[in-house]
Amino acid sequence: MTIIIDGLYVGSTQNLMDGRRSAVSKRAVDNARWVGQHGVEGDEQADQQCHGGLNRALLHYPVEHYAFLAQTLSGTEIDIPGLRAGAFGENISTRGLTENDVHVGDIFAIGEATVQITQPRRPCWKLGAHLGYKPLAGELIATARAGWLYRVIEPGYARTGDQIRRIETADHGISIAALWACHNAPAPNEKQRAQLAFLTEYPGLMEDWRQRLALRLAG
């Protein structure tokens, strides 16, 4: 399957419903944008301690998750019309590539840029504040539909319609969906404990995640 960029998104800092500042809401851009070590040209992060940086330069979110979430969250107080591509803070959306298909350490060509997955995205309170449904971050974690983050190895231009091509697959074989399953399991089974043990020592996974999974392994 050929994977293309469904949408390329950037955002500026603005007030959320509760008055706090965030750049979680993104808008689509049609022109080619420079993808550098700190992300897409024109994109902002309000809280640079928790968002952005060299190892969180780009957020990738599968567009097909929106339909699932709209169905799952129907009947809650969430703003269902607000569930649209760009609403979850992503810079890149695609179809046909989900957490089941990718691994921390995978390397991709995105347009002219070369990037590497560094960690799953761990959503925070800002998504719920943005869309008016406080439990949203927990729903994304529980369903392993939170997206993932890249560092930029080689900068370059990218735009909507460009291909995304996998250059290298991490040889450990633990998908991001499997990582979340280890993280979320009330009592990790033997296989999951072995995966947790590996991931806590895997240098391609960011340190805060390794620490979090080490605590999970310790029970």
pLDDT per position in the chain (219 positions), as tens?
689 999 999 987 776 666 676 667 788 999 999 999 999 999 877 566 656 789 999 999 999 999 888 888 888 877 777 778 888 889 999 999 999 999 999 999 999 999 999 999 998 877 877 777 888 899 999 999 999 999 999 999 999 999 999 999 999 999 999 999 999 999 999 999 999 999 999 999 999 999 999 999 998
CATH number, residue 34: 2.40.33.20
Q: Are residues 154 and 180 in the same domain?
A: no
DSSP line for 127-173: HHHHHT-TTHHHHHHHTT-S-EEEEEEE-EEE-TT-EEEEEE--TT-
The dihedrals phi and psi of 126, each to the nearest 5 degrees, come to: -65, -35
Comparing CA positions, the residue from 59, 56, 81, 58 lying closest to residue 69 is: 81
3 state DSSP class of 22:
strand
To which H or E segment does residue 113 belong? Answer: strand 113-120
My answer on whether 199 and 162 are in the same domain is no
The span from the CA of 40 to the CA of 56, in Å, is 11
Q: What residue numbers bound the domain in which 86 lies?
A: 3-168
Q: Count up the domains in the chain and report the number.
A: 2
Q: Is residue 159 domain-shared with residue 186, that is, in the same domain?
A: no
pTM beyond 0.85: the answer is yes
Distance of CA 97 to the CA centre of its chain: 12
Q: What is the pLDDT of residues 5-24, one digit of tens each?
A: 999 999 877 766 666 766 67
* % of the chain exceeding 70 in pLDDT: 93
79 shares its domain with 145: yes
Does residue 183 sit in helix, strand or coil?
A: helix
Phi and psi at residue 65, in whole multiples of 5°? -65, -25
